Amino acid sequence: MFSLRGPALASLLVAACAPIVGVTELEVVERAEPAPPVETAPDAAAHDDAAPSQVEKDAGDAGDAGVGDKRVFVTSTAFNGIMGGVAGVDARCIAAADREGLGGDWVAWISADGKNAIDRITHDGPYVRLDGARVVRDKSQLVSGVLTSPIDRTEKGETVTENPLVWTGTFMNGTFSTDCNNWSTSNALSFGAIGTLNRVDRLWTDNGGPGGGFRNWGCQTSARLYCFEL
CA atoms within 13 A on the CB side of 148: 24
Where does residue 81 fall: left (phi above 0), alpha (psi -120 to 50 degrees), or beta otherwise?
Answer: alpha
Q: Are residues 82 and 190 in the same domain?
A: yes
Q: What domain count does the chain have?
A: 2
Q: Are residues 16 and 127 in the same domain?
A: no
What confidence score (pLDDT) does residue 150 get? Answer: 98
Q: Are residues 115 and 14 in the same domain?
A: no
Render pLDDT for 110-159 as a digit per residue (tens, 0 to 9): 999 889 999 999 999 999 999 999 999 999 999 999 999 999 999 999 99
pTM for the whole structure: 0.73
Task: Give me the residues paired with residue 227 across strands.
Answer: 73, 108
For residue 31, give its domain range. 6-41
DSSP string, 67-104: TT-EEEEE-SS-B-SBS-HHHHHHHHHHHHHHHTT--S
Render pLDDT for 169-219 as a digit per residue (tens, 0 to 9): 999 999 999 999 999 999 999 999 999 999 999 999 999 999 988 999 999
Q: Which amino acid is at 20?
A: I
Q: Are residues 32 and 88 in the same domain?
A: no
φ/ψ of residue 172, rounded to 5: -55, -35
